[in-house]
Amino acid sequence: MSNMKIAKVGIIGAGQMGCGIAQVCAAAGYHVGVYDAAQDRITAGIANIDAGLSRRVKSGKLTEDAKTALLAHIVPVNGFEGFSDFDLVIESATENEAIKRQIFEAVTPHLKADCIIASNTSSISITRLAATTGRPEKFMGIHFMNPVPVMELVELIRGIATDETVFKSIQAFTLTLGKTTAISEDYPAFIVNRILLPMINEAIYTLYEGVGSVTAIDTAMKLGAHHPMGPLELADFIGLDTCLSVMQVLHDGLADSKYRPCPLLVKYVEAGWLGRKVKRGFYDYRGETPVPTR
């Protein structure tokens, strides 16, 4: 059985990740449909893609014609029935298993029989999500990194029932996007977040226990370990709610106390201080330059 032909790619979720995936797929020449439960988010998301591409045109990295051609590949989709003739549908909603399961249950009846379904989850069991679709053999994890247009890696995760042809088709598809793939087994948080998030959580514990200030911790890791961004700055960039979700998945899934979310991370999320997207997290972003909040 040969690889399945993918020409039309559907994206569910018009947030930063969903729109990033839409952009790289459109840049590779795929027809892309974007759906979000909040229609205004689709408009805002496509406008953000436009703005980002305009900056690249201004800096000479992209021609105006290439920008126009790329945007022409992205269209809004008004409902799940709009994905009826798509070859691949990627869910990129919030990192909440109940929401993702609802989406898969609702979208699957509208898809053609050979449509591949994927999740951009950064931590949740692919096998468990696949079970909600009624066609687990055509389901797998495609975990893009943020920001999608810049980051070179995509993690590919097979569920227990994923068909080998589906896996090979998605692997080939990912390479056409100019990405490098890392294949992970279906364990909580896969490879990148299994290593990265506990490091971030430990940095938050280091702050919580008074070992160092926000500035000291981030400076130490940037200059002492050559990380391009300090762990607390990175947590704000990822979103503290997402960081907490991944740590909870690790803690619940692996039952090891080393994955216990730091109480300070929980407190920041409870306060609604979720990082850059709300202009406050471990740094306050409301002024000219970010100011540590502790």
H or E, element range at 74: strand 74-76
SS3 158: strand
Per the annotation, the verdict on 155 as an active-site residue is yes
pLDDT given at position 211: 98
Interval 128-178: pLDDT, tens: 999 999 999 999 999 999 999 999 999 999 999 999 999 999 999 999 999
pLDDT above 50 (res 80) = yes
Per the annotation, the verdict on 96 as an active-site residue is no
Q: What is the pTM (predicted TM-score) of this model?
A: 0.92
pLDDT above 90 (res 3) = no
**Intervals of CATH 3.40.50.720 along the chain:** 8-184
pLDDT above 70 (res 2) = no
CATH of region 8-184, choose from 3.40.50.300, 3.40.50.720, 2.60.40.10, 3.40.605.10: 3.40.50.720
Cβ 160 vs Cβ 187: under 8 Å: no
Domain 193-282 in this protein, CATH class:
mainly alpha
Task: Dump the DSSP string for 209-264.
Answer: TTSS-HHHHHHHHHHHS--SS-HHHHHHHH-HHHHHHHHHHHHHHH--GGGPPPHH
Give me the chain's average pLDDT, please: 96
| Sequence-separated contacts (24+) of 226-230 with Cβ below 8 Å | 230/203
CA gap 146, 285 in Å, rounded: 19
| Annotated catalytic residue, options 91, 95, 155, 233 | 155
Per the annotation, the verdict on 201 as an active-site residue is no
CA gap 111, 104 in Å, rounded: 11
Backbone angles phi, psi at 20, to 5 degrees: -65, -40
Residue 82's Cα: distance from chain center in Å?
Answer: 23
Interval 166-204: pLDDT, tens: 999 999 999 999 999 999 999 999 999 999 999 999 999
SS3 117: strand
Per the annotation, the verdict on 122 as an active-site residue is yes
Interval 244-282: pLDDT, tens: 999 999 999 999 999 999 999 999 999 999 999 999 999
pLDDT above 90 (res 66) = yes
| Annotated catalytic residue, options 73, 95, 143, 201 | 143
SS3 118: strand
**Intervals of CATH 1.10.1040.10 along the chain:** 193-282
pLDDT given at position 104: 98
pLDDT above 60 (res 33) = yes
Helix-strand-coil split of the chain, %, nearest 5: 50, 15, 35
Q: Which pLDDT band holds residue 4 (cuts at 50, 70, 90)?
A: confident
| Annotated catalytic residue, options 193, 201, 233, 245 | 193
| Annotated catalytic residue, options 92, 119, 120, 122 | 122
Q: Which pLDDT band holds residue 1 (cuts at 50, 70, 90)?
A: very low
pLDDT above 70 (res 106) = yes
Cα-Cα-Cα-Cα torsion 192, 10, 91, 52, nearest 10 degrees, comes to 60
pLDDT above 70 (res 31) = yes
CA gap 82, 183 in Å, rounded: 31
